């Protein structure tokens, strides 16, 4: 632990935290926007902590048995994609109680007005906001606690989480200001690469999402090779050929999305992909994309299926992760309690 409150220049250990909700299957959006980038940060000079945010998932109804299954499947997805429990701390949120404890303090720091501006709440609550859970409304304060209970300095996420990370900084700044400390770091969002916003295969103006009623709109990490190929073949496009520069994709959301997916899967820039495919028709490009997607995703889904045959192994990894995590979170929460004025033994 590197940090001391009430000093003017606190230095924080470079530490990455990120999380995914175990509220259904993993999509290609989760993989490219988040998990694939978690793996590269694991290989860089960071401590890395990755989390299945089960407490966040129950802000909307989850069948308990399915939640258990989905949490294990998400853990399997992390591991199969290259997150190593030897190099990263892998946890489910509820086994590290300091997240929820700091979350309560942040409920008392965050302002109603800030929360009311959160677009994800508006999207998720829909027209019937009166019937949404209080947890769904308070969700971003718990998310801030997930991050700050580790003093995490960097958070890799997709574009849709940007507003929540700005709120995390607002909460840290208000806490530091109100208690005259610099205990919490200003966390940096890491929103980078060609696939920070993977779009629906049926509608280039909508995000690819596990909650879209149309299964054809997304690629699930558990889809078979045939299904992946079929979904890409049927993906909505326009009648034109591919341009040779990124500028030519500006008004073509569906074409841009497929190129972005190709670029992210093959670790190339959009311009590199267009150098190869500029002038080609979708009849040529789609099969190439399908082959690439199957080559990259099939080994992951095979490994996920193998890991899911040994749920006790997954549970053991998560229990060990929780122990490692608490070595970081317990002292940080204790200091936060001291700063706020809570008596403790
Ligand atoms: P969630 O579970 O909705 O998504 C997990 C991660 O996947 C990214 N993502 C996408 N990226 C690109 N294109 C898409 N179509 C796409 N769909 C999803 C998300 O941006 C995210 O990075 N609130 C978070 C979970 C969370 C969290 C945290 C994240 C809770 N606490 C602390 C970071 C740090 C969420 O609902 O993500």
The 10s digit of each residue's pLDDT in 234-275 is 999 999 999 999 999 999 999 999 999 999 999 999 999 999
pLDDT tens digits, 163-188: 999 999 999 999 999 999 999 999 99
Residue 334 designated active-site: no
Ligand 1 near 29 CB (within 6 A): yes
pLDDT at 4: 45
* 58 φ/ψ angles, rounded to the nearest 5 degrees: -80, 5
Q: What is the percent of the chain where pLDDT is above 90?
A: 93
Chain segment 289-327, per-residue pLDDT in tens: 999 999 999 999 999 999 999 999 999 999 999 999 999
* pLDDT at residue number 6: 45
What percentage of the chain carries pLDDT values higher than 70?
A: 97
Three-state secondary structure of the chain:
CCCCCCCCCCCCCCEEEEEECCCCCCEHHHHHHHHHHHHHHHCCCCEEEEEECHHHHCCCCCCHHHHHHHHHHHHHHHHHHCCCCCCEEEEEHHHCCHHHHHHHHHHCCCCHHHHHCCHHHHHHHCCCHHHCCHHHHHHHHHHHHHHHCCCCCEEECCHHHHHHHHHHHHHHHHHHHHCCCCCCCCCEEECCCCCCCCECCCCCCCECCCCCCCHHHCCECCCCHHHHHHHHHHCCCCCCCCCCCHHHHCCCHHHHHHHHHHHHHHCCCHHHHHHHHCCCCHHHHHHHHHHHHHHHHHHHHHHHHHHHCCHHHHHHHHHHHHHHHHHHHHHHHHHHHHHHCCCCC
Residue 8: is its pLDDT beyond 90? Answer: no
* Residue 197 beta carbon below 6 angstroms from any ligand 1 atom: yes
**Least confident window among 10-14, 70-74, 132-136, 212-216:** 10-14
Structure-token pair, residue 306: 């193998």
- The catalytically annotated residue of 210, 230, 236, 335 is 210
Sign, CA dihedral 328-329-333-336, equals: positive
The yes-or-no answer on residue 210 being catalytic is: yes
Q: What is the pLDDT of residue 295?
A: 96
Residue listed under structure tokens 């994309």? 289
Q: Which domains does the chain have, with CATH numbers?
A: 15-195+310-340 (3.40.50.620), 215-306 (1.10.240.10)
pLDDT above 80 for 147: yes
Question: Is 274:244 a contact under the CB 8 Å cutoff?
Answer: yes
- Whose alpha carbon is nearest atom 27 of ligand 1? 19
Residue 191 to residue 253: CA distance in whole angstroms? 20
Of ligand 1's listed atoms, the one at least distance from the Cα of 27 is 17
230 is catalytic: no
What pLDDT does 342 receive? 98
User: Quick one: which atom of ligand 1 is closest to the CA of 210?
Assistant: 17
**Residue of 157, 164, 210 to test ligand 1 pocket, by largest number of atoms within 8 Å of CB:** 157
What pLDDT does residue 5 have? 47
* Nearest one of 120, 52, 130, 57 to 318, comparing CA atoms: 52
Q: How far apart are CA 301 and CA 34, in angstroms?
A: 17
Half-sphere exposure of 185 (CA within 13 A, CB side): 24
Chain center to CA of 127 = 26
Q: pTM here?
A: 0.95
From the CA of 37, how far away is ligand 1's center (Å)?
A: 12
For residue 139, which atom of ligand 1 is closest to its CA? 23
Grade residue 9 by pLDDT with cuts at 50, 70 and 90: low
Ligand 1 pocket member 56 (CB < 6 A):
yes
């Amino acid at each position: 632990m590197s940090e001391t409150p009430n000093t003017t220049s606190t230095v924080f250990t470079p530490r990455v935290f990120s999380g995914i909700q175990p509220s259904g299957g993993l999509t290609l959006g989760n993989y490219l926007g988040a998990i694939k980038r978690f793996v590269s940060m694991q290989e860089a000079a960071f401590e890395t902590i990755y989390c299945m945010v089960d407490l966040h998932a129950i802000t909307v109804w989850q069948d308990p048995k399915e939640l258990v299954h989905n949490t294990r499947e998400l853990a399997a997805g992390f591991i199969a994609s290259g997150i190593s429990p030897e190099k990263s701390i892998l946890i489910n949120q509820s086994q590290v109680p300091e997240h929820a404890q700091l979350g309560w303090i942040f409920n008392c720091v965050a302002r109603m007005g800030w929360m009311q501006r959160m677009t994800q709440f508006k999207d998720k609550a829909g027209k019937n906001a009166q019937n949404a859970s209080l947890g769904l409304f308070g969700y971003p304060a718990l998310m801030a606690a997930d991050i700050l209970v580790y003093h995490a300095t960097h958070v890799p996420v997709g574009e849709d989480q940007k507003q929540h990370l700005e709120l995390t900084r607002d909460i840290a700044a208000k806490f530091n200001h109100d208690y005259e400390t610099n205990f919490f770091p200003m966390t940096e969002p890491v929103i980078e690469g060609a696939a920070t916003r993977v779009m629906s295969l049926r509608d280039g103006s909508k995000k690819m999402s596990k909650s879209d009623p149309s299964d054809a709109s997304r690629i699930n990490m558990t889809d078979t090779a045939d299904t992946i190929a079929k979904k890409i073949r049927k993906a909505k496009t326009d009648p034109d050929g591919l341009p040779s520069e990124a500028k030519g994709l500006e008004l073509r959301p569906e074409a841009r999305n497929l190129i972005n997916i190709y670029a992210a899967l093959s670790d190339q820039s959009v311009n590199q992909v267009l150098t190869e495919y500029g002038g080609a028709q979708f009849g040529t490009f789609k099969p190439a994309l399908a082959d690439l997607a199957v080559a990259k995703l099939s080994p992951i889904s095979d490994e996920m299926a193998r890991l899911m045959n040994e749920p006790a192994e997954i549970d053991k990894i998560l229990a060990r992760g929780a122990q490692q995590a608490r070595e970081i979170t317990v002292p940080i929460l204790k200091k936060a309690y001291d700063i706020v004025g809570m008596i403790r033994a």
